[in-house]
Structure 1
Amino acid sequence: MNKCTSLIISLILILITGCSSNNFEIKLVTPKSFTPDQSTPIKIKILDREGKPVKGAKVSADLDMQGMSHGDISMKMQETENGVYVGQATFEMEGDYTATIKIDDNGEKWKGEKRFSIVYNHAQ
């Protein structure tokens, strides 16, 4: 399978699946590409077990490139609308990443991982 097909399949899986715990449904939304030295928005949508947006939670994420050891990209996420939290990341390399997401909603804590792929934006 070529790199482009693999990327498309990964992105589709990320967009259509949410990671469910007993208490939260987490959806990670990432762009398909990035521009070096520019911030790239990363969104996390959080729903409770009844499907309602989780408001006012403390949310953070660490992005780690798989197979590399050049350090994590850490983000504190800000709520921009009901249950949607946004952070900014500056990517140096295209590839496969793991987002380790931490949520604290009034003492109810959750930690989990989501994977995504991102490529360099060649259309500049």
Structure 2
Amino acid sequence: MNKLTILIIGLIIISMTGCSSNNFEIKLFTPKSFTPDQSTPIQIKILDREGKPVIGAKVSVDLDMQGMSHADISMKMQETGNGVYVGQAKFEMEGDYSAAIKIDYNGEKWMGEKRFSIVYNNAQ
């Protein structure tokens, strides 16, 4: 299956999931810049419908550089408390990325996407 087909199927699934379930509020926090060959923290805060932190979820994130056929980064996020989940990414290129977020919480599965940009850190 080529990337375009996978993307289209993924978008259909995301849109179906997004329409049927708004049980989570997702906030993605990324630094504005990265240093090559060093891990860059990616943080997600997950809240439920009432605005309470989601604790005990299984969370994974796939980062994809937009317009490129490489530079995909997959992370299993570690819970740090209070609905916050953290992963480490090693970026190779600056640019625009999409974060495909998957949450499995109490048998409920959710998939969504957030976008961000990151640049090379020139200060060393």
Q: Given the two structures, how large is their TM-score scaled by the length of structure 1? A: 0.82
After superposition, what is the alpha-carbon deviation per residue over 1:35-88, rounded to whole angstroms, capped at 9, x for unaligned? 000000000000000000000000000000000011410000000121000000
Q: Which amino acid aligns with 2:87?
A: G
* Equivalent-residue separation in structure 1 for 2:92 and 2:120 (angstroms): 9
What corresponds to 2:119 in structure 1?
A: 119
The one-letter amino acid of 1:85's match is: Y
CA–CA separation in structure 2 for the residues paired with 1:107 and 1:114: 23
SS of the aligned residue for 2:118 comes to: strand
Q: Is the partner of 2:78 in helix, strand or coil? A: strand
**Unaligned runs of at least 5 residues, structure 2:** 1-17
CA distance in 2, matches of 1:26, 1:109: 14
Q: 1:53 aligns to what?
A: 53
Q: Deviations over 1:13-46 (max 9, x none)?
A: xxxxxx9x52000000000000000000000000
Tell me the distance in 1 between the aligned counterparts of 2:44 and 2:27.
6
Q: Which amino acid aligns with 1:111?
A: M
Q: Which stretches of structure 1, 4 residues or longer, exceed 2 Å deviation after superposition?
A: none
Alignment of 1:95-110 (within 5 A): 95-110=95-110
User: How many residues get paired?
Assistant: 106
Q: Which residue matches 1:31?
A: 31
Q: TM-score, structure 2 length as denominator?
A: 0.82
Percent identity of paired positions between Structure 1 and Structure 2: 88
Distance between the aligned counterparts of 1:41 and 1:120, measured in 2?
15
- Supply the RMSD in Å over aligned alpha carbons: 1.5
Which runs of 5 or more residues in structure 1 are unaligned? Answer: 1-18
Q: SS where residue 112 of structure 2 aligns?
A: strand
Q: CA deviation at 1:115?
A: 0.1
Q: Where does 1:4-23 land on structure 2 (aligned, <5 Å)? A: 21-23=21-23
Q: Cα 1:40–1:70, aligned 2, differ >3 Å: closer, same or farther?
A: same
Which amino acid counterpart does residue 67 of structure 1 have in structure 2?
G
